[in-house]
Amino acid sequence: MKSHYRVVVIGGGIVGSSVLYHLTRHGWNDVALIERAELTAGSTWHAAAGFHALNDDPNIAALQGYTIRLYEEIERESGQSVGMHMTGGVSLAASDERWQMLKAERAMYETMEMQTTLVSPEEIRAMCPLVDPIGLKGGLFDAHEGYVDAHGTTHAFAIAARKRGAEIILRNRVLELQQRADGSWDLITEKGNINALHVVNAAGLWARRVGRMVGVELPVVPMSHHYLVTDDVPLLASLEREFVSVTDLEGFTYLQPLGKGAVLGVYERNPQHWSPDGAAWDYGMDLLPPDVERILPELEIGYARFPALAEVGIKRWVNGAFTFTPDGNPLVGPVPGKRNYWVACGCMGGFSQGGAIGLTLAQWMIHGDPGHDIFGMDVARYGAFAAQENYLRDMTRQFYARRFVISYPNEELPAGRPLKTSTVHDRLAADGARFGVSWGMETPQFFAPQRDDFIENLTVRRSNAHEFVGDEVRATRTAAGMFDASTYARYEVSGPGAEAWLDRLLSSRLPAEGRVRLAPMLGHGGKLMGDLTVSRLAADRFWLIGSYYLQEWHGRWFRDLLPKNGVTLKNLSDSWSGFALSGPLSRDIVQPLLGRDLANAAFPFLSCAEVDLGFSKAVLARLSLTGELGYEIYVPAPAQPALCDALMQHGRGLGLRHIGNRALDSLRLEKSFGIWSTEFTQSITPGMCGLDRHVAFDKADFIGRDGVLRERDAPSSRVLVTLAIDAAPGKTQDADPSGFEPVKLDGRLVGYTTSGAYGHWVRQSLALAYVDREVVADPPPLTVDVVGEAHPACILERPAWDARSERMRG
Ligand SMILES: Cc1cc2nc3c(=O)[nH]c(=O)nc-3n(C[C@H](O)[C@H](O)[C@H](O)COP(=O)(O)OP(=O)(O)OC[C@H]3O[C@@H](n4cnc5c(N)ncnc54)[C@H](O)[C@@H]3O)c2cc1C
């Protein structure tokens, strides 16, 4: 053990070992891993070590694919067997809805260029003779599933890392972490002190405790998990190959081969947390006592689906613990506000994701960029709220219990709510709002006025709320609609250095005083980091508006780049709030509240000003996401109810009404407007999505400039388009795209949708999609798979509504 390393990884489970390996593979060799006990001594040694590439998040699916492909390589490199069994895997559907869902999933995986196959009950039985096919509709087969040996795989990473120069220090607990003024860390360990520039918390079951060593509360908590191993099953005795792994989605169980027996694992609906603060420091490689009573309902379904298991005994019960985060994805990356402190924890699928986490973290540490869009695993996708005890317990419980339950695109889950409500929440509820949630904030999805009894049906097709959304869209196009802008993030940037800092941070030119601009913010490589609007309220004072749920993510980026002096950054997201109001009558509604003239000549499109509403000061900007004449009005949050009442007092008689997210989606798609997380993400370049028209290529210096200049010379292969989608032949149209549906030309994949909605005003099903550039030049007839069925589609050359944007500017 040396006294100094560039990086120390705390924890020698599958994740820490992979991080160590990837650091060395990408060129950093002055690195060490410190393990409290032996390698695998946390969750890792219990694992059934099954793996699969499929995941709802295409970026995570791609990374899981990387993990699986890596196994052969590390086996070769280390000389240590990983115990690979590439059995293939099949997910079962025992209901029409599930079958429909699997068809849609197959199409989604096709967009990720992952080939899965729909199989019949007979084919399933041939793949796994243990399955009783009664009641099955079919299944989804993926050849890239199987299992490895947990011990061998972890050691293969460790041996390969050691061969590349890494050091592994066993039986040495890290007791404390102390940061020096230069940002490096002193690790106080059982065997002495070490200094390291970077520390990685890969402490698995102990991750929360290792977070607390630096004053960080990580949203991660251990839960218990059971599987059983059967004796040899006679039915398998004559089988020449291993059976295909099976996930019984309706049964909450999974089945893997093990010799001539089987492993049956359970995701029970009544899950249990274990040691919420993290495992005790002296927790050994022990099993928890099996709690058969609790998992009995799922076991009964499992034994009914795999009846041959009942004929043999149970060799071994495994009840162990592993960690969960509120959404089940790991926590990876630099912890906001803690210099040189990184996490790679909260991983519930170490054998699908371990390699990917190692790759991501190593690239991030060494090159300053994770290399992919990994927002779904980024520790900064959460704020402090996520680690609150009740929230964390409710969310993780919900995630675990619903692991195999169908999720619908229009479903809003109940756990951890309400956590935050805007100051107008009760007014919106009184008008019939049905809420969803964004970063803990209740946000209206649609309004069912005077229909307290209305319950939306859960469906992948158009729901019974379709016409409520239509009413909101029509009201906005003919009168005005207002959206509670509590789920926008607001930042104030001020001071003598504000202009220079923002000029470098944002790729667009900065607006003049009293003006607003859409300002793409780029990462160092030239891909998107944000689609902010920037309003210049004074020479040295700006407001930035972005997505509410990106506050921690953007905050980390801002803070990393903020100069020491001359710029003050304030996050006003919760202290200020307001409405985005738009529609042809919106000027008539806002004008009476103000002393100043809102006529087009006096306050044209993209103007902003600080104004006095009489009852409150306010920031007013002329902007619109709907394509109609529109204003965003922000006031201190306690004044939002008064603003709501004043707008309604002037507007209700003119047809003003509240609108929700669904109406906004319909309205923005009619205008071909993209938004963050669907069209705009950190894997997209400005040239792909059309935001390059806001980039000031001639500016001498801004972050990402080299990347966008390169792209200007060599355009990306895919571009964003709007698609009009029609009914499938012989069918009535009752569904719209929701994202990640394949776009095809003569059956060949040429792109994928990012979001979709019914354009209630233009009466057309619409989608935004990235498609191959050559397809756009001379648009041919295309198809889009919607709920697994091919629908005719065509590229719209201009937005479906008001292509010249006259209404917005009028
Ligand atoms: C019953 C069961 C079945 C499972 N089946 C599967 C499966 O089929 N497929 C799958 O992908 N996953 C499965 N998992 C989950 C899998 O085990 C985890 O995803 C994985 O092991 C997490 O690895 P890790 O490295 O993050 O954490 P851990 O394995 O918990 O490793 C953390 C390590 O950090 C060390 N450590 C902690 N604090 C300190 C400190 N202060 N100083 C030094 N060292 C420290 C610990 O000793 C430990 O070795 C299963 C889990 C269980 C319990």
State both tokens at 103: 């068809």
Q: Which tokens in the block code for residue 702?
A: 């801004």
Q: Which residue has the tokens 């000549």?
A: 601
How far is 674 from 769, CA to CA, in rounded Å?
Answer: 10
Query: How far is the C-alpha of 675 from the C-alpha of 681, rounded, in Å?
Result: 9
Distance CA(422)–CA(173), nearest Å, equals: 45
Mutate to test the pocket of ligand 1, among 14, 34, 43 (most ligand atoms within 8 A of CB): 43
The model's confidence at residue 600, banded by pLDDT at 50, 70 and 90, is very high
Most informative mutation of 171, 268, 322, 400 for ligand 1 (most atoms within 8 A of CB): 322
State mean pLDDT over 487-507: 98
Relative to beta strand 31-34, strand 167-169 is parallel
- 210 close to ligand 1 (CB < 6 Angstrom): yes
Amino acid letter, 660: G
Residue 1 to residue 769: CA distance in whole angstroms: 53
| H-type alpha helices, 94-252 | 96-111, 121-127, 150-163, 207-212, 234-237
Nearest to 516 by CA among 660, 640, 623, 651: 623
The response to whether residue 50 sits with its C-beta less than 6 Å from ligand 1 reads: yes
Residue with CA nearest ligand 1 atom 48: 42
Give the ligand 1 atom nearest the CA of 321: 53
CB distance 620 to 609 below 8 Å: yes
CA of 740 to the centre of ligand 1 (A): 32
pLDDT score at 777 = 83
Confidence class for position 757, pLDDT limits 50, 70, 90: very high
> How would you classify residue 521: left for phi > 0, otherwise alpha for psi between -120 and 50, otherwise beta?
beta
Cα 360 to middle of ligand 1, angstroms:
18
Residue 367 · residue 352 · CB < 8 Å = no
Q: For residue 787, what are its two tokens?
A: 């709920």
**Average pLDDT for the chain:** 96
Q: What is the 401 CA–ligand 1 centroid distance (Å)?
A: 20
**Residue 506 has what DSSP assignment?**
B
Which residue in this structure is represented by tokens 């509709």? Answer: 137
Backbone phi, psi, residue 63, to 5°: -70, -35
| d(C-alpha 328, C-alpha 221), whole Å | 11
> Nearest Cα to 679, choosing from 545, 788, 771?
771
CB 105 within 8 Å of CB 406:
no
Q: Are strands 192-201 and 116-119 parallel, antiparallel or unpaired?
A: unpaired
* Helix ranges, 193-291 (H): 207-212, 234-237
Of ligand 1's listed atoms, the one at least distance from the Cα of 318 is 1
Backbone angles phi, psi at 565, to 5 degrees: -130, 155
**In contact, 606 and 809? CB cutoff 8 Å:** no
Contacts of 282 (CB under 8 A, 6+ apart): none
Q: Is the pLDDT of residue 778 over 90?
A: no
Nearest CA among 639, 571, 578, 634 for reference residue 608: 634
Comparing CA positions, the residue from 593, 621, 597 lying closest to residue 608 is: 621
Q: Residue 165: what pLDDT?
A: 98
Closest CA to 207 of 20, 5, 342: 342
CA of 43 to the centre of ligand 1 (A): 3
- Atom index in ligand 1 nearest the CA of residue 344 equals 26
How close is the Cα of 42 to the center of ligand 1, in Å?
4
Label residue 788 by pLDDT band (50, 70, 90). Answer: confident
Q: Which amino acid is at 129?
A: P
pTM score over 0.85:
yes
Indicate if ligand 1 lies below 6 Å from the C-beta of 211: no
| CA distance linking residue 689 with residue 677, whole number of Å | 12
Residue type, 646: A
pLDDT digits 0-9 by tens, 317-346 = 999 999 999 999 999 999 999 999 999 999
Q: Which residue is it, tokens 């559907």?
A: 93
Residues forming beta bridges with residue 757, ordered by sequence position? 766
Percent pLDDT > 90 in the chain is 95
- Number of residues in the chain: 810
CA 42 to ligand 1: nearest atom: 30
Torsions phi, psi of 168, nearest 5? -125, 120
Q: Give pLDDT tens digits for 503-551.
A: 999 999 999 999 999 999 999 999 999 999 999 999 999 999 999 999 9
- Give the dihedral sign, CA 624/627/628/629: positive
CA angle at 736 for the pair 734 and 742, rounded to the nearest 5° = 125
pLDDT in tens, 304-319: 999 999 999 999 999 9
The answer to whether the peptide bond before residue 737 is cis (omega within 30 degrees of 0) is no
Whether residue 11 has its Cβ less than 6 Å from ligand 1: yes
Q: Residue 233 carries which side chain, given as an amino acid letter?
A: V
320 close to ligand 1 (CB < 6 Angstrom): yes
37's tokens: 């006990």
Residue 361 reports pLDDT greater than 90: yes
Residues 57-85, mean pLDDT to the nearest whole number: 95
For 105, half-sphere exposure in the C-beta direction (CA atoms, 13 angstrom radius) is 26
> What three-state secondary structure class fits 446?
strand
Distance of alpha carbon 416 from alpha carbon 437, whole angstroms: 10
The answer to whether 146 and 87 are in contact (CB under 8 A) is: yes
When pLDDT is cut at 50, 70 and 90, the band that residue 112 belongs to is confident
> Given this model, what pLDDT does residue 10 score?
99
Reference 735, options 787, 797, 693; nearest CA is 787
Regarding beta strands 31-34 and 4-10, do their DSSP bridges make them parallel or antiparallel, or are they unpaired?
parallel
208 Cα to the center of ligand 1, angstroms = 13
Model confidence at 371, in pLDDT bands (50, 70, 90)? confident
Q: Could you tell me the pLDDT band of residue 779, with boundaries at 50, 70 and 90?
A: confident
Half-sphere exposure of 279 (CA within 13 A, CB side): 24
Regarding the beta carbon of 62 and ligand 1, being less than 6 Å apart is answered no
Query: Any residues with CB less than 8 A from the CB of 599 and at least 6 apart, and which?
Result: 587
CA distance 472 to 467: 9
Band of pLDDT at residue 372, cut at 50, 70 and 90: confident
pLDDT surpassing 90 at residue 113:
no
For 429-473, write each residue's pLDDT tens digit. Answer: 999 999 999 999 999 999 999 999 999 999 999 999 999 999 999
Ligand 1 pocket check for 721: Cβ under 6 Å? no
